[in-house]
Structure 1
Amino acid sequence: MGNVGLLYVGAVLFINGLMLLGKVDPRGACLLNLFVGALQVITPTVLIITANGDTNAILNASGLFLFGFTYLYVGIGLITGVDTTGVGYFSLFVAVMALAYAFANYQVLDNRPFAVIWLYWAFLWFLFFLLLGLKREHLTAYTGWVTAIQGWVTGAIPAFLLLTGYWQGWNQNLIAIIMIVFGVVVFGALWPLTRRGHRTPARAGSTGGETIAAH
């Protein structure tokens, strides 16, 4: 059930990345944020209720609320047009907790690929903090690209491979190493590319006000 939710986390990250890049209208993105946000609150609730006291299962499910609340926060913000500072600072909380979940996946759950994926999410949500909480709008394009790419790399692709059973048959240490190398190379290369002669796109969710946008 959690893998199904992860698939749609990939979808909403991809759409929100495109929104930050000015390719998707915020009004069109807000509904998907609300749908996936609701899914990511219902899913962990069901998983925890049916865990029968399995502490590892509860630990795994508990992290999903971080995403569910983020997407609901963003979706409601896009509808109401509220200032983004609140969701920005909530993103800082998520980034810090993502580091803790990365450690838990590595040390407690012995799941190295998802330890790396949680590090990806910690980096992404820290970018959301900088962009939405601290209003560092020069990061809009970079954050948009990182968000869209992470939608596939941390959401859609792992979820599909898990659902089809292929993920479990591969060397988990190798997957983790490949993801580390990919993240460092791709996100490192994106930085100068998005700085070079880039014009900041129209601010998502605004009419000349603040960016409402995007995770």
Structure 2
Amino acid sequence: MGPIGLLYVGAVLFINGLMLLGKVEGRAAALLNLFVGALQVVTPTVLILTAAGNPQQLLNASGLYLFGFTYLYVGIGLLGNFDTTGVGYFSLFVSIAALGYAYANFQVLRDPPFGVIWLYWSFLWFLFFVLLGLKRERITTYTGWVTAIQGWVTAAIPAFLILTGYWRATAVTAIVLAVFGVVVFAALWPMTRRGPAPADAPRPGEETVSGRYDE
């Protein structure tokens, strides 16, 4: 994934995390999802057309569609107030595919930090599956925090470091990312499960901005 596209993936994940935390209205978040989703569909299409059969470029480009289709799916769903099961089960597909891309980054592309980052994304999209596909509303706050944090840790910060020449694709970077993810996301679980619901959280039976119903 190119650093410019990665930067805006960070932006949309951050906004979507804030939406799940009740800080951003759903229709407002939908617009950025559509913008970034379109970018993440056009970009890999151009890369594939200009790849001249280069297998590594094709591999890198193919993964971008997973994100592009997710953001378009979310944006259209928010604007149309559609049921979330479709994007939820698509997220399960993305979560499983991300494991393959993690393996490819470790073994084929020899890029261990992005191997770890793909594992981050696999975990996040699995949370989307549980929340949106299985409609387990009780993990909304946890998923919101994980989404917002991943927007910075897996996308915005690496993109800025790559653009400025400070990114180091080393095993040390991969280990730091892995330790950070395990510690922070494990610590968030009991904190978010104990925390009170946001003041503007939907009451039982009240429709949310994404078309779901609170349990």
May I ask how many residue pairs the two structures share in their alignment? 208
**Cα distance, 1:195 vs. partner?**
0.8
Structure 1 residue aligned with 2:201: 202
Select 1:175's aligned residue among 168, 173, 176: 173
**Cα distance, 1:165 vs. partner?**
1.2
CA contact (8 A) 1:84 1:211 kept: no
Structure 2: tracts of 5 or more residues without a match: none
CA contact (8 A) 1:84 1:210 kept: no
CA displacement, residues 58-107 of structure 1 (integer Å, 9 cap, x when unaligned): 10110000000000000000010010000000000000000000001111
Structure 1 residue aligned with 2:2: 2
CA displacement, residues 30-70 of structure 1 (integer Å, 9 cap, x when unaligned): 00000000000001111111111110011011000000000
CA contact (8 A) 1:33 1:75 kept: yes
Structure 2 residue aligned with 1:69: 69
Q: Runs of 4 or more off by more than 3 Å in structure 1?
A: none
**Cα distance, 1:211 vs. partner?**
6.2
Aligned partner of residue 53 in structure 1, secondary structure: coil
**Cα distance, 1:171 vs. partner?**
5.7
CA contact (8 A) 1:101 1:118 kept: yes
**Cα distance, 1:21 vs. partner?**
0.1
Asked if residue 43 in structure 1 is aligned to residue 22 in structure 2, the reply is no
Identity of aligned residues (%): 72
CA RMSD of aligned residues (A): 1.5
Larger relative contact order (C-alpha < 8 A, sep ≥ 6)? 1
TM-score, with structure 1 as normaliser: 0.93
Task: Work out the CA distance in 1 between the residues paired with 2:55 and 2:117.
Answer: 21
TM-score, with structure 2 as normaliser: 0.93
CA displacement, residues 139-166 of structure 1 (integer Å, 9 cap, x when unaligned): 0000000000000000100011111111
Asked if residue 187 in structure 1 is aligned to residue 185 in structure 2, the reply is yes
Q: Which amino acid is the alignment partner of residue 39 of structure 2?
A: L
Aligned partner of residue 63 in structure 1, secondary structure: helix
